[in-house]
Amino acid sequence: MAPAVRGLASERGTVLIAALMVIVLVGTLGAALVMVVSTESGTAANYQAAQQALYAADAGIDRAAGDLRLLASWRDVPAPGSASPSGNFNDGLPISSAPDGRTLDLVQLTATLQAESNAIYPNTPNRPVWRLFGHASLNRMISGAANAPPYVVVWVADDPDDPDGDCGIDTNDVVMVHAEAFGIRGSRRAIEATIQREEAMAAGFPGVTRTDVRLIAWREVR
């Protein structure tokens, strides 16, 4: 009987080793699956945050165009100190915070934008000089309600094709608008547009004109 007992014990040891190997394999596959799901979830969340920031930047362009439409003249829009007259598009904070806690120094952001712009446009009297126009959370900017992500910052500048030779004065009713939105998860997107002011006849009101804004160019820059 001794050999039979030894054979049975050997088989039990082999089964135990095989079972342990299966457990390790299943555990490894489970950990890999968790990692894949976690990575995919993070990627999807980052993409969603980036898209939200992109749409917020586009909303900033639209909001700036709406404020500019109300002005009788764009001559002083590129001038120093020019800003949106709307309280819900200017929270009055020189240093703000993104929804994820990043500090947004508007002076530094303006300087960075100007440096990037100077690298593109030649050093002439018509080179764009960016002026801070408006900044607020998206929810405040749209409805005037409490702050909500993303945070939107908008600058304006005279277009480089204005022949007046003065970057602080607009004489051809064309300006550039740059909007950046800072969202959750470190997201940051920027859009730049060139818009034109036009006078058109008001429909149904003979002899009455209205101010309209036409989009000339639009591009995503970040």
Query: Mean pLDDT for each consecutive 10-residue tract of the chain (222 residues)?
Result: 53 73 79 69 84 95 94 94 87 90 95 97 95 93 71 96 94 97 95 92 58 94 88
**Residue 155 contacts residue 177 (beta carbons within 8 Å):** yes
- Taking alpha carbons only, the member of 108, 125, 124, 130 closest to residue 178 is 130
CA dist list (Å): 39 to 29, 32, 42, 47, 48: 15, 10, 5, 12, 14
Euclidean distance between CA atoms 21 and 27, whole angstroms: 10
Q: Which amino acid is at 20?
A: L
The model's pTM is 0.80
HSE-CB at 70 with a 13 A cutoff on CA atoms is 9
Count of beta carbons in the 10 Å neighbourhood of residue 215: 13
Burial of 16 (0-12, 13-18, 19+ CB in 10 A): exposed
**Residues linked to residue 190 through DSSP beta bridges, in sequence order:** 180
CA dist list (Å): 80 to 73, 130, 175, 200, 212: 16, 9, 14, 29, 24
Backbone angles phi, psi at 51, to 5 degrees: -65, -40
The helix (H) or strand (E) run that includes residue 33 is: helix 2-69
Q: Does the CA dihedral 56-58-64-65 come out positive or negative? A: negative
**Residues linked to residue 195 through DSSP beta bridges, in sequence order:** 175, 215
CA dist list (Å): 74 to 157, 191, 196: 11, 21, 10
How confident is the model at residue 9, as a pLDDT? 55
How confident is the model at residue 169, as a pLDDT? 96
